[in-house]
């Protein structure tokens, strides 16, 4: 495994593999890798000849007062985890390599799909994500790129970018990886105190309870959301930012649940950590299933 910091060098190396007919799988990350990232890597390892993992804490997707400076970083640890999983290249550019002129003058932006959920509370976040992912796609030129379903709005928006801007890349969604007690894995879980960590699984439990109500026949989205909010507010130290049910197609909130694909999602502040989680599901003729 090689750690490459320069765009030019990575392009050269990958060009040789491409010429030799090798397929390239790409896992973009901000580092501080956990089992969730490693599951993306494992899937990429299965599907491709060459696996590239990028590690870059992207400043353009953090808002004022967010955790860009305190975001955990440990390249040495990440490199040893990647090596064990058979990664071929880590691309770990510094900020100057990715943004030599400082903040870019040209961005990739999204309409509508970022109006709700996290997009509503993190203005400019998805613009920053799309811009860096587009840059990384242009640098790596992978055949496939792997994204976790925990960041469901990010996944939805990147799928749309690939479609609307004709990137010749297959986006492969990977299931959320959870701790044994159900908490979705996240680099931000490291911010939790032992007391906060102990109650954090109740976020997913609350979503599951809401989902069960839908399975039992409730079709009024507001009632489900209210039930979940009540549960979340009862978690000591938790401050829910939002609970919403949106349609998968346009990421707009719905009132009545009919046949279709939906995302039930939440963001909750627990101490210093902002934790997100979701359940994507499909309703088809009375059947409700995780999707």
Interface with ligand PAF by CB under 6 A: which residues?
Answer: 28-30, 58, 61, 129, 132-133, 151, 154
Report the residue number, 138 or 193, with the smaller CB distance to ligand PAF: 138
Determine the 3-state secondary structure of 39 from DSSP. Answer: helix
Could you give the CA distance from residue 110 to residue 153 in angstroms, rounded to a whole number?
A: 12
Least distance to ligand PAF, CB of residue 58, Å: 4
Residue 37 a catalytic site member: yes
Report the residue number, 129 or 192, with the smaller CB distance to ligand PAF: 129
Count of CB atoms within 10 A of residue 215's CB?
Answer: 14
Report the residue number, 125 or 231, with the smaller CB distance to ligand PAF: 125
- Going across the sheet that includes 260-270, the strands are 238-247, 260-270, 273-284, 287-290
Could you give the CA distance from residue 86 to residue 80 in angstroms, rounded to a whole number?
A: 10
Query: At how many degrees (to 10) do helices 125-140 and 7-19 cross?
Result: 50
Least distance to ligand PAF, CB of residue 130, Å: 9
Catalytic residue among 17, 34, 37, 227: 37
178 sits in which H/E element: none
Least distance to ligand PAF, CB of residue 150, Å: 9
Least distance to ligand PAF, CB of residue 232, Å: 23
Report the residue number, 153 or 266, with the smaller CB distance to ligand PAF: 153
Angle at 159 between CA 100 and CA 1, to 5 degrees: 55
Residues with catalytic function: 37
């Amino acid at each position: 495994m090689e750690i490459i910091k320069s765009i030019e060098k990575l392009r050269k190396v990958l060009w040789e593999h491409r010429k030799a007919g090798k397929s390239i799988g790409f896992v973009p990350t901000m580092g501080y890798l956990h089992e969730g990232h490693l599951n993306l890597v494992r899937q990429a390892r299965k599907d491709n000849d060459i696996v590239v993992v990028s590690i870059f804490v992207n400043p353009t997707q953090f808002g004022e007062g967010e955790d860009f400076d305190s975001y955990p970083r440990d390249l040495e640890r990440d490199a040893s985890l990647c090596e064990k999983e058979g990664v071929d290249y880590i691309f770990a550019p510094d900020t100057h390599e990715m943004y030599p002129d400082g903040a870019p003058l040209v961005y990739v932006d999204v309409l509508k799909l970022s109006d709700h959920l996290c997009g509503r509370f993190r203005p400019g976040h998805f613009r920053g994500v799309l811009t860096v992912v587009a840059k990384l796609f242009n640098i790596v030129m992978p055949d496939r790129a792997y994204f976790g379903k925990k960041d469901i709005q990010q996944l939805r928006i990147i799928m749309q970018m690939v479609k609307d801007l004709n990137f010749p890349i297959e986006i492969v969604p990977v299931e959320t990886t959870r701790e044994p007690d159900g908490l979705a894995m996240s680099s931000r879980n490291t911010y939790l105190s032992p007391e906060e960590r102990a109650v954090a699984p109740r976020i997913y439990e609350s979503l599951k309870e809401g989902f069960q109500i839908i399975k039992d026949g409730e079709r009024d989205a507001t009632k489900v959301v209210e039930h979940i909010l009540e549960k979340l507010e009862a978690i000591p130290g938790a401050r829910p930012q939002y609970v919403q049910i949106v349609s998968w197609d346009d990421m707009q909130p719905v009132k009545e649940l009919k046949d279709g694909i939906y995302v039930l999602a939440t963001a909750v502040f627990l101490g210093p950590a902002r934790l997100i989680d979701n359940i994507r599901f499909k309703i088809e003729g009375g059947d409700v299933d995780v999707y």
